[in-house]
A and B are shown apart, each in its own frame.
Chain A
Amino acid sequence: MLSRVAESLYWMSRYIERAENNARIAEVNLQMLLDLTNQRGADPNQQWDPIISSLEENELFASLYPTPDGKAVIDFVSLQKKNPNSIVSCLTRARENARTTSEQISSEMWEQINKLYLFAKSDAAKKLVRTSPYEFFKRIVTGSHLFQGTTDATMTHGEGWDFIRIGKLLERADCTSRLLDIKYHILLPSGEKVGGNVDTIQWMSVLRSCSALEAYRKIYFGQVAPWKVAEFIITHSAFPRSIRFSVDYFDAALHHISGSAETKYANEAERRLRYDLDYATIGEIFKFGLHEYLEQVQNRLAEIDRALHATYCADNGAEG
């Protein structure tokens, strides 16, 4: 497979996953806002700050919107072309990558990604964001799922598919870690206790944004406690949006591409990340500091990304 194509497939997949995750975060926050406006002393606008922080675009946001209210955030996250990580920007880039590889992916995949892009850019979408943002986010998430399903059902499960999988899972691990980290930035309204009503609502919304609330309840029987939520989202081996799951599966895809043995790792960052996830207990993670731990995960994911590029996409000149 062409190196350029491998890279494009990888990024196409990352950007779609990123669009989906942004839609999830925004949607859940909308819901949380509704819960909290009924609470004494909660400042609804403050609730959006962590989202902007998690996107690492505070300055850009402040420069574009004089009034940083919910409407501004929704616009910034969904339709703002100047925000490189808005849903529209992500889908534009995903589609651009798909276009340069459109003879490699199946025509069904191309059609699906093209439709999703055309929807996000349409006037209908703009109207939806204003009148019913919940529906807009839902359509993005569903669109992304349709793309993933179409990918698995219509594309040969070969090297290209592996790069798509790696892109998706790497991005998902990264997004999930940021999602969990949002909770770290959320301040409890004054007078609220840790473990109190508002705190629980916030942790529940973290679960919901990873579609994890139902799965979590089946395992922990409804009790929503911070360390259990973190444990579930970081280390659960079978839940498809947990960090551990994502890392395990992109590791498998990497082995599939390189043809090397299970016990070998493509690079050092990957080895350490898997080691951490396999052996660290949630107690140790909290002792190390949840925020610090998640930051470390993100750094290692970035290292893996660089190593991938160096191995498969930079020209190494060897004859194959």
Chain B
Amino acid sequence: MGNFFSDYQVGDFFDEMFAEPGVARPHYSKLLARFKEMDREEFERKRALAASTFLSQGVTFTVYNDDQGTERIFPFDLLPRIIPAEEWDRIERGLVQRITALNQFLHDIYHEQNILRDGVIPKSIVWEAEAFRPEFMHFDVPRNVYIHICGTDLIRDKEGNYLVLEDNARCPSGVSYVIENRQTMKRTFPSLLGQYRVRPVEDYSQELLNVLRYIAPHAKHEPTIVLLTPGVYNSAYFEHSFLARSMGIEIVEGRDLVAQGGKVFMRTTKGHKQVDVIYRRINDDFLDPQVFRKDSGLGVPGLVEAYRDGNVSLANSIGTGIADDKAVYHFVPKMIRYYLKEDALLPNVPTYLASVKEDLTYILEHIPELVVKAVNESGGYGMLMGPQATKAECEKFKEKIRKNPRNYIAQPVVPLSRAPSFCDDSMQGRHVDLRPFILYGEKVTIVPGGLTRVALREGSLVVNSSQGGGSKDTWVLENGAA
């Protein structure tokens, strides 16, 4: 087999690489040239090298309910996704605008609630949301930052327009793959990376550390910062330890911490040591059994009290889940207008709220054409892909929606853009999305690109790793590079 792309089908989607069959977009021409000169054997060698790198470094995620070893490599596709500088510039401005509005929204919701009073968002949408934490009304979070780390999922429609699919404002994961993917590409395609001028991603950990230092209580100069993990069996444990290692901070489990007298300490070989900032990778519900879920063995009793006393800071803050509730999502463009007096640079996907009467009727009538999502779930769980669902599945979902309309939203199926990926021994178009990671501290910092996730199953639109997704390296080019 000579040419990798001779049988490539562009299909009825926006293709990231090909403007039309056989014609690569300008920023992909060097990549195409490189693959034209490469034979099958060399490609296989590179694939094997990439796979063994991930395995020997233990870059794995854990699959729940799977007793065989339970660790898997997140499949990695060797063809990078390339984003030209001007295109990224637009995305970046849109993301900065969005995170700014979301943070202002959270401050407002937990204080004056002007946006509700002015009728921009219906009161019930907020007050009935599971993720809303009225216990934290009028609580001032350190430096007034709520979402320190946000993962916003972007997709592209048929015309190639970027749309926001959802925000992840609780504990977004995946950034470790951004960095590991780049490391792997450096080993497998060093010269190609050199030919393109690709913006680096390695400084993410340093930027994250800056954010965590910035929010230290009492502006403490050398704060003790820890990463709180649910433990080694959590699916993202690799990422937790990767981030802790690259920031040079301790990774702790709930049992390593103890709260006493409104302060949090970690148990060390030399006694208790006070902790100032916790980058928690545990959801609100499990943080403190005295306040939230009583059955949580992962959290620290008394942690919330210490947080309220201002002796320990949390990233992200408690209660940010209301900002990525899928019904609240619908209102983000309005939020941007309301707080920033600007139009949203990155549009939303049209969304129907089952809690609105007309929308509910529409959803129930058109369910086979729609994607239905539970407002409080992520990771591809709790959703229905109408076009792929059986009649019985649709009926079952209708029932669920009728019972609890506030809990569901629906969207038309967006034909996600595709990028060439190596599947079943040839290059085939597979649907992709993009999750940039946005850091909010003293300023907003976004590492160029983010995680490109790819649905490796033919025709699938679900990119989550728990649902058979893989990833690609994402190359954002320097200004003037192509």
Instruction: Report the minimal beta-carbon distance from B252 to chain A, rounded to whole angstroms.
Output: 6
Cα distance A53–B265 in the bound complex, in angstroms: 46
B56 touching A2, Cβ below 8 Å = no
B232 touching A111, Cβ below 8 Å = no
Q: Which residues of chain A (97-135) have a CB below 8 Å from chain B?
A: 99-100, 102-103, 107, 110-111, 114-115, 118
Q: Which residues of chain A (1-21) have a CB below 8 Å from chain B?
A: 1-6
Question: Which stretch in B141-149, B191-199, B267-275, B329-337 binds the other chain?
Answer: B267-275
Residue in B244, B249, B256, B268 whose Cβ sees the most chain A Cβ within 10 Å: B268
Which range holds the interface residue count of chain B? 20 to 34
Cα distance A5–B56 in the bound complex, in angstroms: 22
- CB-based nearest A residue for B248: A103
- CB-based nearest A residue for B227: A103
Cβ of A257 < 8 Å from any Cβ of B?
Answer: yes
A3 touching B232, Cβ below 8 Å = no
The binding surface of chain A is classed by DSSP as helix
Q: Which residues of chain B (240-272) have a CB below 8 Å from chain A?
A: 241-242, 244-245, 249-253, 255-256, 258, 265-272
Residues of B within 8 Å of A64, CB to CB, are none
Cβ of B13 < 8 Å from any Cβ of A?
Answer: no
Cβ of B65 < 8 Å from any Cβ of A?
Answer: no
Cα distance A102–B250 in the bound complex, in angstroms: 10
Question: Which stretch in A42-50, A262-270, A279-287, A309-317 binds the other chain?
Answer: A309-317
* Choice from A5, A115, A316 contacting B271 with Cβ under 8 Å: A316
Cβ of A96 < 8 Å from any Cβ of B?
Answer: yes
* Choice from A5, A100, A114 contacting B57 with Cβ under 8 Å: A114
Residues of A within 8 Å of B253, CB to CB, are 4
A3 touching B56, Cβ below 8 Å = no
Residues of B within 8 Å of A100, CB to CB, are 231-232
- CB-based nearest B residue for A106: B245
Instruction: Report the minimal beta-carbon distance from B290 to chain A, rounded to whole angstroms.
Output: 19
- CB-based nearest B residue for A1: B269
A66-104 vs B, CB cutoff 8 Å, 1 = contact: the mask equals 000000000000000000000000000000100110110
B57 touching A2, Cβ below 8 Å = no
- CB-based nearest A residue for B58: A114
B271 touching A107, Cβ below 8 Å = no
A99 touching B232, Cβ below 8 Å = yes
Instruction: Report the minimal beta-carbon distance from B137 to chain A, rounded to whole angstroms.
Output: 34
Instruction: Report the minimal beta-carbon distance from A257 to chain B, rounded to whole angstroms.
Output: 7
A102 touching B269, Cβ below 8 Å = no
Residues of B within 8 Å of A4, CB to CB, are 253, 255-256, 267
B56 touching A318, Cβ below 8 Å = no
Cβ of B55 < 8 Å from any Cβ of A?
Answer: yes
Cβ of B237 < 8 Å from any Cβ of A?
Answer: yes
Residues of B within 8 Å of A196, CB to CB, are none
Cα distance A1–B250 in the bound complex, in angstroms: 8
Given the interface pairs A2-B250, A4-B255, A102-B241, the reply to whether A317 lies near B56 with Cβ below 8 Å is no
A103 touching B244, Cβ below 8 Å = yes
B232 touching A315, Cβ below 8 Å = no
A317 touching B272, Cβ below 8 Å = yes
Residues of B within 8 Å of A110, CB to CB, are 57-58
A6 touching B241, Cβ below 8 Å = no
Cβ of A59 < 8 Å from any Cβ of B?
Answer: no
Residues of A within 8 Å of B242, CB to CB, are 103
Which range holds the interface residue count of chain A? 20 to 34
Cβ of A191 < 8 Å from any Cβ of B?
Answer: no
Q: Which residues of chain B (46-63) have a CB below 8 Å from chain A?
A: 55-58
Instruction: Report the minimal beta-carbon distance from A79 to chain B, rounded to whole angstroms.
Output: 15
- CB-based nearest A residue for B231: A100
B272 touching A320, Cβ below 8 Å = yes
* Choice from B55, B251, B252, B267 contacting A315 with Cβ under 8 Å: B267
Given the interface pairs A102-B58, A107-B245, the reply to whether A313 lies near B251 with Cβ below 8 Å is no
B256 touching A103, Cβ below 8 Å = no
Residues of B within 8 Å of A102, CB to CB, are 58, 241, 245
Residue in A2, A99, A110, A118 whose Cβ sees the most chain B Cβ within 10 Å: A2
Given the interface pairs A2-B250, A6-B269, the reply to whether A96 lies near B255 with Cβ below 8 Å is no
Instruction: Report the minimal beta-carbon distance from A260 to chain B, rounded to whole angstroms.
Output: 13
Cα distance A219–B251 in the bound complex, in angstroms: 49
Q: Which residues of chain A (202-248) have a CB below 8 Å from chain B?
A: none
A2 touching B268, Cβ below 8 Å = yes
B61-97 vs A, CB cutoff 8 Å, 1 = contact: the mask equals 0000000000000000000000000000000000000
Given the interface pairs A3-B256, A103-B245, the reply to whether A111 lies near B57 with Cβ below 8 Å is yes
A318 touching B269, Cβ below 8 Å = no
Question: What residues of chain B have their CB less than 8 Å away from a CB belonging to chain A?
Answer: 55-58, 231-232, 237, 241-242, 244-245, 249-253, 255-256, 258, 265-273
Given A2-B252, A3-B268, A317-B271, output 14 extra A-B contacts at Cβ < 8 Å.
A2-B250, A2-B268, A3-B269, A4-B255, A5-B250, A96-B232, A102-B58, A102-B245, A103-B244, A114-B57, A118-B56, A257-B269, A312-B269, A320-B268
Question: What residues of chain A have their CB less than 8 Å away from a CB belonging to chain B?
Answer: 1-6, 96, 99-100, 102-103, 107, 110-111, 114-115, 118, 159, 257, 312-313, 315-320
> Can you spell out 30 A-B residue pairs with CB atoms less than 8 angstroms apart?
A1-B268, A1-B269, A1-B270, A2-B250, A2-B252, A2-B256, A2-B266, A2-B267, A2-B269, A3-B267, A4-B253, A4-B256, A96-B232, A99-B232, A99-B241, A102-B58, A102-B245, A103-B251, A111-B58, A114-B57, A114-B58, A118-B56, A159-B269, A315-B258, A315-B267, A317-B271, A319-B265, A319-B271, A319-B272, A320-B273
